[in-house]
Amino acid sequence: MNRYENRRVLITGGGSGIGQATVLRLLQEGGHVVAADVSPAGLADTTDKAEAFANRLSMVVMDIGDEQSVVSGVAGAVTALGGLDAVVNAAGILRSSHTEKTSLPDFEQVIRINLIGTFLVIREAIPALLEGREAAVVNFSST
Ligand SMILES: NC(=O)c1ccc[n+]([C@@H]2O[C@H](COP(=O)([O-])OP(=O)(O)OC[C@H]3O[C@@H](n4cnc5c(N)ncnc54)[C@H](O)[C@@H]3O)[C@@H](O)[C@H]2O)c1
């Protein structure tokens, strides 16, 4: 099935786990994808696994916790794709899952990446998304 034929999608966290699996699935279904991740090694792994779809895949090293990195990373993705139809926010970090054992710096880092980072990516993507007719934003969360 080619449900995403010619759809242009930016996927954060594309170097591992859910984000990488989403990159591979959308490529299999005809999409054009930019995989963004803070980890160059993760992106290299995705490049290897997506070798068969290399003509429809680009990479961008982007730290979603850093505003300037997001501004330039999203702009680069829009340029590479020639527009933008969807954003998948799969980048995220997990620290201690026990509140009573969580330090303030750890909690602040989680908020910085998982919440503020997701906001920054959406904010920067909105102008390009609004140029299309069927834009979508997908965010991954947790319990
Ligand atoms: N796997 C699960 O069972 C599960 C359950 C609930 C929620 N989630 C959430 O889904 C999302 C993805 O989970 P996953 O299991 O695929 O995690 P993962 O650790 O395998 O992948 C996360 C990716 O995000 C990247 N990343 C981390 N910080 C970043 C940053 N500052 N900028 C850009 N990229 C960054 C990492 O390098 C990694 O490639 C996370 O937000 C996670 O909290 C996962």
pLDDT at res. 139:
97
Q: Whose CA is nearest to atom 23 of ligand 1?
A: 13
Q: Which tens digits make up the pLDDT trace of 84-129? A: 999 999 999 998 779 999 999 999 999 999 999 999 999 999 999 9
CB 65 within 8 A of CB 116: yes
Q: Is the model more confident about 2 or about 19?
A: 19
pLDDT band at 1 (very low <50, low <70, confident <90, very high): low
CB environment 7-31: b (16+ within 10 A), e (fewer): bbbbbbbbbbeebbebbbebbeeeb
Distance in Å, CA 118 to ligand 1 centroid: 12
pLDDT at res. 132:
80
- Ligand 1 pocket, CB under 6 A: 12-13, 15-19, 37-39, 42, 62-65, 90-94, 113-114, 117, 140, 142
Mean pLDDT across 7-12? 98
- The secondary structure of 68-82 as a DSSP string is HHHHHHHHHHHHHHT
Q: Whose CA is nearest to atom 44 of ligand 1?
A: 142
Mean pLDDT across 126-133? 92
Helices 118-129 and 67-81 meet at what angle, rounded to 10?
A: 30
Distance in Å, CA 75 to ligand 1 centroid: 22
Q: Which amino acid is at 119?
A: F
Could you give the percent of the chain with pLDDT greater than 70? 99
Q: Which tens digits make up the pLDDT trace of 32-60? A: 999 999 999 999 999 999 999 999 999 99
